[in-house]
Structure 1
Amino acid sequence: MAAVRRAVHRPTAPPTPAVVLKLGALGLRTDPALGLTGRRARSQVLDDIGFTFRYPFLDGALGSLLPS
């Protein structure tokens, strides 16, 4: 979220209390751990075949997509 806020020039937001996030996840019928813990994902298959991303980091991709 920090990268998105930088890209759209918005100030940082205060952290959401875990109880509020858990209630929201209950309403959305999803796992609250998705919002409470970080996720880091990469595609090993793409790495194995030698694929290179045009924008390997989110900041670069957002800078390309959003107007200055």
Structure 2
Amino acid sequence: MVVAAAPTPVRNAELMATLRRSTGRRAGMPTPAPLLRLGAIGLRTDPALALTGRHATSPVLAEAGMCWQHPTLAGAVADPFTPRLE
């Protein structure tokens, strides 16, 4: 199995803080855990994916010589050609 993820994963708190800074939004409301569990039922997925997360990296791609254009979140957000959330 190959995971298509950048080689430097970040926690959700860092991801959301970076996205808020890059979009100019001051704050975001966290989704309550019971609501996430309910949504997971509708999506037929594991609520732990949203509540606890997963460490996802791919040594297979690195060993194959894969080079990431943006190996870090900061680099991806700083790229003027990265799609923006509006």
TM-score (norm 2): 0.62
1:50 aligns with 2:32: no
Aligned to 1:7: 22
Unaligned runs of 5+ in 1: none
Moved over 6 A (4+): none
Shift of 1:66: 4.4
Q: What is the identity percentage for the equivalent residue pairs of Structure 1 and Structure 2?
A: 48
Unaligned runs of 5+ in 2: 1-14
Aligned residues: 67
Q: Deviations over 1:2-29 (max 9, x none)?
A: 1322222222323222111101111222
* Higher RCO (C-alpha under 8 Å, 6+ residues apart): 2
Q: Deviations over 1:11-50 (max 9, x none)?
A: 2323222111101111222111111012221111122133
Task: For 1:8-23, list aligned pairs within 5 A.
Answer: 8-23=23-38
Bigger Cα Rg: 1
